[in-house]
Structure 1
Amino acid sequence: MNILVVDDHPLYRSGVVHALHATLPDLQVTESGNVQGALAKLDEGGPVDLMILDLQMPGCTGLDSLRTVRAHRPDVPVLVLSGNESPTVVRECIDLGAFGFVPKSAPGDMLPAALGLVLSGGVFLPPSSLSIGEPASRAQKDAWDKLGARLTERQRQVLLGIVQGKPNKVIARDLNLSDATIKTHVSHIFDALVVSNRTEAVYALARAGVGINELQAQMRPEH
């Protein structure tokens, strides 16, 4: 397994690499001090299972670093590390397809927890971000509890794509379906979860404590 760490501060980057090796001793770690260098390493063709990306990079403002990576390599899962832990920023990162967000002020055990979830295909959200927005309604809680019964096997596959931050076009390609068919499935999924958009769906599952493994275990395939 190979993880690409992208951060322009060598000392902090070294700390992240050390934490990664402490968590996964056999891990291969590649480093880059800027987004362009990271994209060049990706273009060299080496396997990368996850990119850990600092938002504040040279030549980038706001969420530009994440936008650039997602635009050029939407197939590479990205875990964001940032000193800006505003709930709005966290939500915007998830909107852009990040697989998770870890504040730089987080306790030491949060990064291993995030790695475990993201590498299994889930989306990691810091606990502080889950408190924003309205509390789950009774209808939403009921929908989450009955999630397996409400979705078809194909809709479960589409939901996994949504949680993994894949745009509709990529989900359509992966499942060999048309964009229109995927949009129809997404609409049904939103109705089943009692949400109105992709980010709300991710947050709904996170608030319900449902990760990828739990999602798959709860859902019974059609016969």
Structure 2
Amino acid sequence: MPPGEPKTTRTIWEQSLVVVDSRALGRQCLTQSLRSSGICLNVVAVGSMEEWRSQEAQHPPLSAILVNVGGRRLTDPDISEDITRLVSKFHSVPVIVLADNDDLAQILKALECGARGYIPSSVGIEICAEAISLALAGGTFVPASSVVAMKSAIDSGMQETHPILSMFTPRQAEVANALRRGKANKIIAYELDLHESTVKVHIRNIMRKLKATNRTEVAYKINDLFPLDTRS
């Protein structure tokens, strides 16, 4: 390395990124692209981790694993088990998944398996390199589109499953459901781990939203507006 190069860069260059892809052309092209992107890692292409083991002594220590599953799906038990096994075996090394789709279910499955990132092949090589760097820094990369999709799914599910949340905040909804069951402020405070004064504030806000004048009217109106909501 040049004598004036920062120590951190020298340290990174002394680490290896292993690209695992059973397709020779795919892994070779990806490896060359990553090297051209300027990523400060020794990039090694292998068909399997067993192949890496056979040549491990020839390279700097392993620092990250990029697994290209291509068009295979993480929801396939065989694939998810492979990723889980890899994460478990190399527990101190981040495993990142590269795949041909950005389906939300696949991304969630990859994270569930312990992957420290999910990169869809639709992104550019610069983003791919940044995602790997993020994993090395302790972060987890997911495509922005999946975060938006996840938020929409959560919001939709909350509105459909808990319609009372369309009017109240989650905490107000808990207090409101307790009121409809006739629970006293002290009991509500104990069950929700709140101060009794905080419970009273929530009750005042609930009464204001419902235009109710007392607790009995609150319970009546909640049962009338949300008859199917029976959560405690």
Q: Secondary structure at the match of 1:62?
A: helix
Matched, 1:134 2:151: no
Higher relative contact order, structure no. (Cα contacts within 8 Å, ≥ 6 residues apart)? 1
Matched, 1:111 2:128: yes
Query: Is residue 55–residue 66 contact of structure 1 (8 Å, CA) maintained in 2?
Result: no
Matched, 1:74 2:91: yes
How many aligned positions are there?
Answer: 138
> Whole-Å Cα distance in 1 between the matches of residues 68 and 40 of structure 2?
23
Matched, 1:34 2:54: no
What is the one-letter code of the residue matched to 1:130?
V
Using a 3 Å threshold, how does the CA distance of structure 1 residues 105 and 55 change in structure 2: closer, same or farther?
same
Query: Is residue 35–residue 65 contact of structure 1 (8 Å, CA) maintained in 2?
Result: no
Query: Is residue 37–residue 126 contact of structure 2 (8 Å, CA) maintained in 1?
Result: no
Query: Is residue 34–residue 125 contact of structure 2 (8 Å, CA) maintained in 1?
Result: no
For 1:54-97, what per-residue CA distance to the aligned partner results, in whole angstroms no more than 9, with x for missing partners?
Answer: 2368xx83323212212322221111111243211111111111
Matched, 1:3 2:17: yes
Q: Which residue of 2 is the match for residue 18 of structure 1?
A: 32
Q: Which residue of 1 is the match for residue 102 of structure 2?
A: 85
**Which is further off, 89-98 or 23-32?**
23-32
For 1:118-169, what per-residue CA distance to the aligned partner results, in whole angstroms no more than 9, with x for missing partners?
Answer: 22211000112112132599x89xxxxxxxxxxxxxxxxxxxxxxxxxxxxx
| 1:191-202 map, 5 Å | none
> Whole-Å Cα distance in 1 between the matches of residues 112 and 132 of structure 2?
20
> Whole-Å Cα distance in 1 between the matches of residues 39 and 119 of structure 2?
21
Give me the identity figure in percent: 22
> Whole-Å Cα distance in 1 between the matches of residues 31 and 59 of structure 2?
21
> Whole-Å Cα distance in 1 between the matches of residues 69 and 53 of structure 2?
15
Q: Which residue of 2 is the match for residue 55 of structure 1?
A: 69
Q: Secondary structure at the match of 2:86?
A: helix
Structure 1 unaligned segments of length 5 or more: list them: 141-223
Q: Alpha-carbon deviation of 1:51?
A: 0.5
Q: Alpha-carbon deviation of 1:26?
A: 4.7
Query: Is residue 55–residue 63 contact of structure 1 (8 Å, CA) maintained in 2?
Result: no
Using a 3 Å threshold, how does the CA distance of structure 1 residues 32 and 126 change in structure 2: closer, same or farther?
same
> Whole-Å Cα distance in 2 between the matches of residues 129 and 12 of structure 1?
25
For 1:150-191, what per-residue CA distance to the aligned partner results, in whole angstroms no more than 9, with x for missing partners?
Answer: xxxxxxxxxxxxxxxxxxxxxxxxxxxxxxxxxxxxxxxxxx
> Whole-Å Cα distance in 1 between the matches of residues 25 and 16 of structure 2?
20
> Whole-Å Cα distance in 2 between the matches of residues 8 and 45 of structure 1?
20
Aligned-CA RMSD value: 3.2
> Whole-Å Cα distance in 1 between the matches of residues 120 and 109 of structure 2?
14
TM-score, normalised via structure 1 length: 0.52
What is the one-letter code of the residue matched to 1:69?
L
What is the one-letter code of the residue matched to 1:13?
R
Q: Alpha-carbon deviation of 1:32?
A: 1.1
> Whole-Å Cα distance in 2 between the matches of residues 69 and 43 of structure 1?
19
Q: Secondary structure at the match of 2:154?
A: coil
TM-score, normalised via structure 2 length: 0.50
Q: Which residue of 1 is the match for residue 5 of structure 2?
A: none
Matched, 1:100 2:120: no
> Whole-Å Cα distance in 2 between the matches of residues 16 and 113 of structure 1?
14
Find the structure with the greater CA-based Rg. Answer: 2
Query: Is residue 99–residue 120 contact of structure 2 (8 Å, CA) maintained in 1?
Result: yes
Using a 3 Å threshold, how does the CA distance of structure 1 residues 93 and 44 change in structure 2: closer, same or farther?
farther
Query: Is residue 5–residue 31 contact of structure 1 (8 Å, CA) maintained in 2?
Result: yes
Query: Is residue 84–residue 114 contact of structure 2 (8 Å, CA) maintained in 1?
Result: no
